Amino acid sequence: MTGVRLAIFDMDDVLCVYDRDARIEALARLSGRTPDQILRAIWHSGFEGLSDAGRLDATTYLAGFGKRLGYPITRDEWVAIRKLSMRPSPDVLALVEEVKTRAEVALLTNNGFLVAEEMARLFPEVPPLFGDHVFASAMFGTKKPDPAIYRALTARLGVPPEQAFFTDDKPRNVHGAEAAGLTGHIFRGITGLRAALAGLGLLGEEGRPLPILAAER
């Protein structure tokens, strides 16, 4: 055993497949603006980055999103369109369930307060799996790959960085975690993730959970 007590997972393109193009197409149909106009006004403007870094509360973010969209989008509309762009990855979610028999698990996503508040509607599988260990970057006032966010999260959960594992599909985010002292893994698919977790003693042979010894509880 390596002493890893906490496994942290990214959300988009790890726990689910995120299709931003589908989201933008839906926003275009709703607002009457072109996908390129929406991309430039919202994603290329730095607006989403401000939200991810915690500079905008959920209400301010939603109002600003609507202004840039050119349409007064409601919270329900925003949630519905964000949700349709997310396709859960059952194999990865099942793997997280296995890991829970050996370590604490947490979710860390670069997103704003609105995503954090609406996680139960956006990704219903997440709250039962992660409990109160669901974190959006906005909650820390910074975002991945800043090493400070990984240190803040592990400190909040009472786990030293060197006893934590982190996986993300973006190499820069994994490198940020490693700079903070965590063990990192660049997500490229379920096979590689399973091997990485098994190598840390967080899975049994062939993916079967190992029994938790009384001394480890």
Whole-model pTM: value is: 0.92
Indicate the range of 32-36, 127-131, 163-167, 204-208 predicted with least confidence.
204-208
Of the chain, the percentage scoring pLDDT greater than 90 comes to 92
d(CA 26, CA 35): 9
CATH code given to domain 6-17+87-216: 3.40.50.1000
- pLDDT, tens digit, for every residue of 9-53? 999 999 999 999 999 999 999 999 999 999 999 999 999 999 999
- pLDDT, tens digit, for every residue of 90-117? 999 999 999 999 999 999 999 999 999 9
- In the structure, what pLDDT confidence band is assigned to residue 205 with cuts at 50, 70 and 90? low
pLDDT value, residue 53: 98
Check whether 211 has a pLDDT greater than 60: no
Check whether 206 has a pLDDT greater than 90: no
The answer to whether 91 touches 178, Cβ cutoff 8 Å, is no
Domains of the chain by residue range: 6-17+87-216, 20-84
Which helix (H) or strand (E) covers residue 17, if one does?
Answer: strand 16-18
